[in-house]
Structure 1
Amino acid sequence: MKRFKLINNIFGWFTFAIAAVTYLLTMEPTASFWDCPEFIASAFKFEVGHPPGAPLSALFGHFFSLFAKDNSHVAIMVNSFTALCSAFTILFLFWTITHLARKVIIKSEADFTKANIIGVIGAGLVGALAYTFSDTFWFSAVEAEVYGFSALFTAVVFWLILKWEDVADEPGSDRWLVVLAYLMGLSIGVHLLNLLAIPVVVMVYYLKKYTPSFKGVLLALLGGGVILGAILYGLIPGFVEVAGWFELFFVNQLGFAFNTGLFVYIILVFSSLIWAIYESYVDKNRLRMYVSFILAVSITGIPFLGARLLVGLIIIIGLSVFFYYRRSKISARWLNTIVMMVVMVLIGYSSYTIIMIRSSANPTMDQNNPDNLFSLRYYLNREQYPDSPLLFGSTYNAPVKFVADGNGYAPVQKEKGHSFYSLKTKKSAGDKDEYIVVGHKGDNEYEMDEHFDMFFPRMYDSNPRSIEAYKYWGKITGLPVSYEYCGQQKTDMKPTFIENMRFFFNYQINFMYWRYFMWNFSGRQNDMQGNGEVEHGNWITGISFIDNLLVGNQEKMPSQLKENKGRNTYFMLPLLLGVIGIFFLLYGGKSGIEKFWLIMLLFLLTGIAIVVYLNQSPYQPRERDYAYAGSFYAFSIWIGMGVLGIIRLINKYLTKLPRTVTAAIVVVFCLGVPALMAQQNWDDHDRSNRYTCRDFGQNYLSSCKTNAIIFTMGDNDTFPLWYNQEVEGFRTDVRVCNLSYLQADWYIGQMKREAYSSKPLPISWDPKDYEPGKNEMVEVDSLMPSLDVKTAYNFILSSDPQTKIQGQSFIPTNHLFLPVDAQQVIKSGTLPASRASEIIPQINFDLRRGVSRSDLMIIELLKENNWKRPVYFAISIGGEYLGLKDHFELTGLTYQIVPVGAKGAGVGVNTDELYNNMMTKFKFGNIADPKVYLDETTLNMCHSHRAMFVYLIGDLIKKGDVVRAKKALDYCNKVIPGSTVRHDFGSLHLAEFYYMLNEPAKGNAIMDDVANDCVENLDWYLSFDKSKLGGLSDQINQNLGILYQILRTCDQAKQKNILNKYLPRYTEYTKRLQI
């Protein structure tokens, strides 16, 4: 046994070393796209990231950032933290597998033979290394996200409960459970995914302490679910909720200062907990023990599920009745342990105090401004995000319910939920502290017609794009439903429950879970995000005849798909090994069956249960495989068990072969599976030497003049900019303003504060004018032909009742205009004096039926700014930009608003500024290096940069500046070469420019690349069965269109080589398709 422990520890640390070296070598040296730049900024300066936050992750990330030699190395240190967390996850996975394997095949000291030890250690190596090199986990391990740290908590918790199993009957074994509770509490400050391990912990406890039975297993599962719900829906929101009741009472009712109720509550909580611990420890008075226990549990908020007072009171009464009738059978030791575990969870959960403390200091990044209990509750509950129905709700086409009132029909408002409170703005220093109600959960939400309600609704999103996807995945025909709508009888088709479940299985289970599962254990087609297309993001095997059936003829597959670094094939070997491991446990006697169900429970809770809970709608912004990493962790345990299954199978049929030799040979051969995974996955998980996120973020900022304001919208045009400013101190004079946040009162307040060398945004509105619930959406009524912005805004902010409709502000015209001060435009340098004649007298805004607060703020800013500071929109923002598009001039990755242009003029180009920015300021993150991995997100950004070059070169040629045009064209192909960023339709313009500049060879090279891709694509598409061609019509038409454009351009440019090469192919395709 001692020898085994030594070997087990040595090989455990060996797997850790392999994982750590792998992750440290392949991690990104700076920020990655999506949430990572925000997490790094949050860790570096203890700032407040997006809800619900990850304060513990920020704490550890900050600690690692202290070892950075300068600010440019902060990101790599925070990334290193994630890499090491992930490596430690592999360490505990190894020890978990060897523990479970030992329990199955080693029953006594005599079973510690060389063969068994080799088998157990080999199982740990194969399973742990398979997960090390798995697609999903490796992706999360090399960037500054929370999933690596969260996975470590899950791994440690599972390992600890198994270690407890070994000492469960020894004195003091309860301390392991207390440590588990502490880890659970800590994990809340990272990610809630770890809490899904609770039912597994309960099941291990049950199997160890009781004789298993069907009824007992069901009760254990129920108990695990109750504990999970008590923490997730009870303690986490309940603690803040009850604290809020105390705070309201002490501040609003008794007149004390802010936070008095909070401090009183904390004192009462820990006093009651200490009392409960004392009473259950001394066990001298049962009544006091029970009262102290119920008080301790109640005051922490656990009974108040979903912050509901009535539910809490019912649970407390029920608990009291239970204690009364079971008083003689309740163990003081158990009560003591439970209270101690609650204390540990609260201590771990207390990491969220960092959020309130830092928010109170008004950092530059302070999302939701959770500086008091009520904004913290809003932050923790993620109430800014829309809810999705879980067990009961409406289908996607449910109409709003209307009822008759005195003026006709009015929509039925949803029942208001809990109140939202805010600090009352003081009018004088003598005013007392007070909280005021500024809204309710469910405000501006309406009831849907109950005829369209459904149990377990999976298709609820009314977005037209989602509806089309529902019809595709659910194969919807529907059933007619009659209902009353504004006094009229109407009939619509409602999806049936069978269609609802078809969508659930086809899309949510198969496409959004099983596809990800198979990526990790069978193979992945490519790294392009899939939405059901045959060529994007599917799972494959590497076995031709299977893949031909799944995703088309593999021999005719286009080279751009064959050469995609994200194409990985494992020939289903990890899957097969895992299946063998499942059967090994199922036929491994009582111990094996128990271990199988433990792993299965973890597998389902971190997989299918998450699918059900998330209830994802189609067309997600990105792939969501990271959410199911825990499920793949569980399957990796089965992979390890597969080694033992093969050893047992060989020993059964090859009895003459020495068992030690058998075990060694099997382990060596099975290690080939993770080796294959490493070989296949390395190129598309190696992010070393890639600086695209940082550099592209800097390019946005470099596109702006000094002291500029830039409007952004999404993660990838906001977070990289924040990272550059907050961490690397780059262009802190530019104020980044995210339009999706500008709707919120807290964000407007932050924009009115100075940030580094950036002055406050020129917004004149008083906080009372944009407090929650006020002017969030202003209706437009065409009572007047037009109004200037200043007059209209005075009308909106007026307190005169005549300027309101049912107490709400409105705009009495759908046409606003903003007068332009031409002298100020020239004085500020917005336009040079040479362009004075182009300046228009006013900028017009054509309004729709309603104007959001965000749009009101944009117009307000333009009004107050009066051209003093340059204002930009990021090119990545979609839409019509409030009709400002006609006044845009391209300067890089931004459009500057300038008072020139007429309606319908479109976007202009500031040629000199664009040239200077792209040729001298822009960085390209090593994208020209063929060794640097460029994923789809990065490539999209690369294509955006190439498109800016097209605008620049086209404008230079138009103006006759041939020298600079040629220089820019060659530079474009140098920094964004076709060898790493494949040429596409947008590159045809580059070829045309080469023809115009009398360099046909370079133009032909681009045309040939794009045309060849079209031909390969069309050949592949047309190899599909006729039954599938209909689903490929868009792709076929797109490629035919591009090929036609190439031929047309080459014909006009008299490039016969390209024309003669591809015209016969084009003619062939049109004949085959009968076009």
Structure 2
Amino acid sequence: CIKEKYYVGATIFTSFFLVIIGYSTYATIFIRAQQSPFINENDPSTLPKAISYLNREQYGDWSITDRAQSLKNSSYANRWTKNRQKPTSKEVTDFVIDYQFTEMYYRYFAWQFIGRGDNNWPLLTKNGNYIKSLDGINPFRYTIPFAFLFGIIGFMYHFRRDWKRGLAVLSLFAATGLMIILYLNQYDPQPRERDYSYVGSFFAFSIWIGIGLAGLSEFIQKLFNDKKGISVIASLCLITILMPITMLNTDFKEHNRSGNYVAWDYAYNMLNSCDPFGIIFTNGDNDTFPLWYLQEVEGVRKDVRVVNLSLLNTDWYIKQLRDYDPPIPIQMNDNDISNIAPMRWEPREMKVAGLDGNIDTGLSWTLNPTYHNKFLRVQDIMIYRLIDACKWKRPIYFAVTVSDDNRIGLDDYLQMEGMVFKLHPQKVTSINYEKMKQNILQSPDVDYIIRTPEQFTEYNASGQGIYHYRNMNNPDVHFNFNIQRLVQNYRASFLQLVINSINGNNNEKKESIEILNSMEEYFPSKTLPYNNDKLELQVAQIYFMLGDENEYRNRLKNIEERDRVNSETLLSVGQMYLQELNDYPKAYDVFKRLYEKDPNNIEYMYASVQSLARMEKINEAIKILENWLIKYPNDEQIKGLLNSLNEQLGS
């Protein structure tokens, strides 16, 4: 009676109470921030700061409805339009349906309940050029996608038996799935896969999987007229055992992290690239969080101060750099820091005093605007202030992943030493050869951990390799695409070292070959594929420069025979066959492949004719030119080439 009389009020009170319980979990953030931990992002220690943190104000505002603007802001806009500034309505619609809905939600949904594909979702430009591949969908990954089928059965069964509660689950499913997609209005590409954003939606669908099993058991019981339920129990046992065993058998290696030390070693290598009490500027989350973990949990190189450039735009982070150990001598009070903002900027000469304190013997460079060609970002202002405040008492580094436009024009004063660039008070060569070689070669004892500045100094003096590359040559360890991409930073360091040697700084072919062989030993391409055509092309060219033609051919063949390869890269492969190896038939095969794919591309056509002419197959070359002139009769340059070949044939 009471329940019926106060039903509405009880429902409102219960709902409000549950909301309070849900939001009360955020109190842990507020309480933790009060303790001033070393990692204290946004410093939500007061109510206004906590609200700002929950509202994600540091990420700024974005339009929920302006889909065209998200397309314009996309780095991969050429996937969807040939005119970034004026995409058509159809192109915007395709962007929303094919990217925001399909790639950023349906694909993730399929990962959970149908099957994740292995790097089988190619991204192509409007011109058909290959960009890269993502993990797509494999409907046969688990032979039969039982989870998806049971979910669909459960959806239909739920609405047939109780449409009101079915609608409630559907509301949860939509609100935590497609509605989030509409709200976020994401640009292409995102920094990482975002499948974790839609877990609520996946939970809702999982409810239907359970309901589907219940519906199936009811159907089986009626079908066999099994009042005791033996057939139901047997069927459900078979299904519930079969599904997880199939998934375990398929996914165990991919989900097994044993023996995978990539993130740990990456952070270790970066920290131990720095001299004692150094300061290192890092680019983003992937460069920063592993380093923080090693420092705070493992106690590795806590003397090195990690400065995240993304966070350096915020006042709370600048205050922490100034106040937390080991502090950075930032000569700014709280009010100055709170009021710092991007400033209008014209290119001007900047100076930092040298080791002797003389302004004329230190850094001198032109600092250009870094934002819209008009402004200087807060992070750029702070980089300059930090460098100036340290007065060369602490070594300063930039991680190699920090892009050129985030290094405020200091490139002439930066010297590569492995995974870092070290800042010097005078102009330097691009690479510190000996230091970099010691850093990137693997330590003979990877079980020994350098934790303190004293240990670093002692070990560094031994001249032995510093970095760790544990298990990266182990074919039994699974390395996903992101790890494969990260490894390219290591390979790039080895290649820079070899190129520096070839260019005369240490011109020893034997040592260069040894360095390349070490790279292949640490990161064999069979275990860690390049997934970067240009990088492997560079490796091939280096082998050719060192006189190893067989390896050069093998590398070109690897690139050429890939299922998906960028047309620009394939053209370069053909030119190498043509000009460096004088292998005209191979060159023609490559150019022909390109020309058949894009018969209106004059560059591909000309390269095909050139290789045929080198093979003295003049008639075939003439035929290609004649067909071209049928399509483009006013092409005077091709007419001249045709006349030249006809004369050559006549003579």
TM-score for the superposition, normalised by structure 2: 0.75
CA deviation profile, 1:988-1027 (whole Å, cap 9, x unmatched): 44444445555555x25xx525523432326xxxxxxxxx
Q: State how far apart, in whole Å, the 2-side matches of 1:524 and 1:995 are.
A: 39
Q: State how far apart, in whole Å, the 1-side matches of 2:424 and 2:135 are.
A: 46
Compared with structure 1, are the counterparts of its residues 1071 and 639 closer, same or farther at alpha carbon in structure 2 (3 Å cutoff)?
same
Structure 2 residue matching 1:742: 3-state secondary structure? helix
Amino acid at match of 2:103: F
CA deviation profile, 1:877-930 (whole Å, cap 9, x unmatched): 12332111122210111111224449xxxx700111101111111112422111
Amino acid at match of 1:910: N
Q: Is there any run of 5+ residues in structure 1 with no aligned partner, and where?
A: 1-168, 172-208, 211-328, 391-455, 478-491, 544-567, 782-813, 826-838, 1019-1034, 1053-1058
Amino acid at match of 1:978: S
Question: Which of 840, 850, 858 is matched with 2:383 structurally?
Answer: 858
Q: Is 2:321 the partner of 1:770?
A: no
Q: Relative contact order (C-alpha < 8 Å, sep 6+): which is higher?
A: 1
The answer as to whether partners of 1:581 and 1:645 remain within 8 angstroms in 2 is: yes
Compared with structure 1, are the counterparts of its residues 965 and 820 closer, same or farther at alpha carbon in structure 2 (3 Å cutoff)?
farther
Aligned to 1:908: 430
Structure 2 residue matching 1:465: 3-state secondary structure? coil
Question: Which of 346, 351, 367 is matched with 1:846 structurally?
Answer: 367
Q: Is 2:539 the partner of 1:1015?
A: no
CA deviation profile, 1:81-107 (whole Å, cap 9, x unmatched): xxxxxxxxxxxxxxxxxxxxxxxxxxx
Compared with structure 1, are the counterparts of its residues 841 and 1045 closer, same or farther at alpha carbon in structure 2 (3 Å cutoff)?
farther
Q: State how far apart, in whole Å, the 2-side matches of 1:1065 and 1:704 are.
A: 49
Q: State how far apart, in whole Å, the 2-side matches of 1:992 and 1:531 are.
A: 27
Q: Is 2:344 the partner of 1:779?
A: yes
Shift of 1:683: 2.6
Aligned to 2:258: 688
Structure 2 residue matching 1:731: 3-state secondary structure? coil
Write the mapping of 1:66-105 to structure 2, written as runs, cut at 5 A.
Answer: none
Compared with structure 1, are the counterparts of its residues 723 and 1048 closer, same or farther at alpha carbon in structure 2 (3 Å cutoff)?
farther
Aligned to 2:535: 986
The answer as to whether partners of 1:1014 and 1:1042 remain within 8 angstroms in 2 is: no
Q: State how far apart, in whole Å, the 2-side matches of 1:666 and 1:350 are.
A: 39
The answer as to whether partners of 1:583 and 1:645 remain within 8 angstroms in 2 is: no
Compared with structure 1, are the counterparts of its residues 870 and 666 closer, same or farther at alpha carbon in structure 2 (3 Å cutoff)?
closer
Aligned to 1:815: 348
Question: Which of 273, 277, 285 is matched with 1:715 structurally?
Answer: 285
Q: State how far apart, in whole Å, the 2-side matches of 1:967 and 1:495 are.
A: 54
Aligned to 2:419: 893
Write the mapping of 1:328-477 to structure 2, written as runs, cut at 5 A.
Answer: 334=9, 346=20, 349-350=23-24, 352-390=26-64, 456-461=65-70, 463-465=72-74, 468=77, 472=81
Q: Is 2:590 the partner of 1:1066?
A: yes
Write the mapping of 1:547-626 to structure 2, written as runs, cut at 5 A.
Answer: 568=141, 570-587=143-160, 590-591=161-162, 593=163, 596-626=166-196
Aligned to 2:408: 882
The answer as to whether partners of 1:541 and 1:571 remain within 8 angstroms in 2 is: no
The answer as to whether partners of 2:469 and 2:522 remain within 8 angstroms in 1 is: yes
Question: Which of 97, 110, 133 is matched with 1:536 structurally?
Answer: 133
CA deviation profile, 1:116-150 (whole Å, cap 9, x unmatched): xxxxxxxxxxxxxxxxxxxxxxxxxxxxxxxxxxx
Shift of 1:938: 1.0
Shift of 1:523: 2.8
Amino acid at match of 1:537: L
Aligned to 2:453: none
Amino acid at match of 2:230: T
Shift of 1:464: 4.0
The answer as to whether partners of 1:459 and 1:617 remain within 8 angstroms in 2 is: no
CA deviation profile, 1:168-199 (whole Å, cap 9, x unmatched): x9x9xxxxxxxxxxxxxxxxxxxxxxxxxxxx
Shift of 1:714: 0.8
Amino acid at match of 2:394: R
CA deviation profile, 1:677-709 (whole Å, cap 9, x unmatched): 333222322222211111101111111111111
Q: State how far apart, in whole Å, the 1-side matches of 2:287 and 2:595 are.
A: 45
Q: State how far apart, in whole Å, the 2-side matches of 1:643 and 1:354 are.
A: 38
Q: Is 2:501 the partner of 1:956?
A: yes
Q: State how far apart, in whole Å, the 2-side matches of 1:1013 and 1:915 are.
A: 28
Compared with structure 1, are the counterparts of its residues 638 and 1042 closer, same or farther at alpha carbon in structure 2 (3 Å cutoff)?
farther
Q: State how far apart, in whole Å, the 1-side matches of 2:117 and 2:424 are.
A: 46
Shift of 1:673: 3.8
CA deviation profile, 1:907-961 (whole Å, cap 9, x unmatched): 7001111011111111124221111111122111111101101111222343124
The answer as to whether partners of 2:220 and 2:232 remain within 8 angstroms in 1 is: yes
The answer as to whether partners of 2:281 and 2:308 remain within 8 angstroms in 1 is: yes
The answer as to whether partners of 2:417 and 2:432 remain within 8 angstroms in 1 is: yes
Q: State how far apart, in whole Å, the 2-side matches of 1:1071 and 1:503 are.
A: 29
Structure 2 residue matching 1:872: 3-state secondary structure? strand
Q: State how far apart, in whole Å, the 1-side matches of 2:491 and 2:311 are.
A: 29
Q: Is there any run of 5+ residues in structure 2 with no aligned partner, and where?
A: 442-464, 605-651
Amino acid at match of 2:299: G
CA deviation profile, 1:295-350 (whole Å, cap 9, x unmatched): xxxxxxxxxxxxxxxxxxxxxxxxxxxxxxxxxx758x956x96687677657755
Number of residue equivalences:
561
Q: State how far apart, in whole Å, the 1-side matches of 2:471 and 2:590 are.
A: 37
Aligned to 2:440: 918
Q: State how far apart, in whole Å, the 1-side matches of 2:24 and 2:202 are.
A: 30
Compared with structure 1, are the counterparts of its residues 511 and 884 closer, same or farther at alpha carbon in structure 2 (3 Å cutoff)?
same
Aligned to 1:3: none
Compared with structure 1, are the counterparts of its residues 518 and 875 closer, same or farther at alpha carbon in structure 2 (3 Å cutoff)?
same
Write the mapping of 1:800-839 to structure 2, written as runs, cut at 5 A.
Answer: 814-818=347-351, 820-821=353-354, 823=356
Q: State how far apart, in whole Å, the 1-side matches of 2:120 and 2:318 are.
A: 37
Q: State how far apart, in whole Å, the 1-side matches of 2:150 and 2:194 are.
A: 25
Structure 1 residue matching 2:280: 3-state secondary structure? strand
Structure 1 residue matching 2:472: 3-state secondary structure? coil
Q: Is 2:560 the partner of 1:1038?
A: no
The answer as to whether partners of 1:517 and 1:632 remain within 8 angstroms in 2 is: yes
Q: State how far apart, in whole Å, the 1-side matches of 2:13 and 2:211 are.
A: 38
Question: Which of 68, 83, 105 is matched with 1:513 structurally?
Answer: 105
Percent identity among equivalent residues? 29
Structure 2 residue matching 1:953: 3-state secondary structure? helix
The answer as to whether partners of 1:769 and 1:775 remain within 8 angstroms in 2 is: yes
Compared with structure 1, are the counterparts of its residues 542 and 355 closer, same or farther at alpha carbon in structure 2 (3 Å cutoff)?
closer
Q: Is 2:510 the partner of 1:940?
A: no
The answer as to whether partners of 1:580 and 1:642 remain within 8 angstroms in 2 is: yes
Write the mapping of 1:728-807 to structure 2, written as runs, cut at 5 A.
Answer: 728-755=298-325, 758=326, 760-771=327-338, 774-780=339-345
Q: State how far apart, in whole Å, the 2-side matches of 1:935 and 1:1036 are.
A: 21
The answer as to whether partners of 1:1017 and 1:1039 remain within 8 angstroms in 2 is: no
Shift of 1:499: 7.5
Q: State how far apart, in whole Å, the 2-side matches of 1:665 and 1:861 are.
A: 68
Q: State how far apart, in whole Å, the 2-side matches of 1:613 and 1:992 are.
A: 48
Q: State how far apart, in whole Å, the 2-side matches of 1:462 and 1:583 are.
A: 36
Shift of 1:710: 0.8
Shift of 1:650: 5.9
Structure 2 residue matching 1:524: 3-state secondary structure? coil
Structure 2 residue matching 1:762: 3-state secondary structure? coil
Which is worse superposed, 860-869 or 1059-1068?
1059-1068
